[in-house]
Structure 1
Amino acid sequence: MNLGNLLSRLLKEGKIKSQVADNNYLDNLLAAAKRNFEAAALLRDKVDEAAFKLVYDGLLQIGRVIVLSLRLRENYWAMNMVT
Structure 2
Amino acid sequence: LALVAGGQFDATLIMNAKNDWDIAAGDLLVHEAGGVVCGLDRKQLTYNNQATRHMGLMAGSDMLMAEFASRVEKIKHNI
Fold in common (TM above 0.5): no
Structure with a larger share of its residues in helix: 1
- The answer to which structure, 1 or 2, has the higher relative contact order (CA under 8 A, 6+ apart) is 1
Compute the TM-score of the two structures, normalised by the length of structure 2.
Answer: 0.30
> Which of the pair has more CA radius of gyration?
1
